[in-house]
Amino acid sequence: MSAQPDRSTEDVYTADPRFAAPLGLTAAVVRHEGEPDRCTVYPTDAGEAALTTTWLSVDADILVSLEDAR
């Protein structure tokens, strides 16, 4: 039996319109089957080397809109 990937390659590093990031940042959601989706925020202009250390990742279901948090 071969292992099936738990995410679609189309969802990796694809910005999700449900999550707005502040100017200069990009929010991308990776969808997982059977576990929480993950949202990663990183600088839009980061090069490959910076992307390995300049990011923040959280379970997407804990995020709220900025308006709801005010």
45 domain-assigned: yes
Residue 7: predicted pLDDT: 46
Strands 38-43 and 56-59: antiparallel
4 domain-assigned: no
37 domain-assigned: yes
7 domain-assigned: no
Domain holding 21, by residue range, is: 12-61
Give CA–CA dist 61/38, Å, rounded: 8
Number of independent structural domains in the chain: 1
Residue 2: predicted pLDDT: 40
Residue 70: predicted pLDDT: 75
Residue 64: predicted pLDDT: 78
What SS3 class is residue 30? strand
Length of the chain: 70
Residue 9: predicted pLDDT: 46
pLDDT one digit per residue (tens) for the chain, 70 residues: 344 445 444 455 555 555 666 678 888 888 888 988 898 888 988 888 988 899 999 998 888 777 777 7
38 domain-assigned: yes
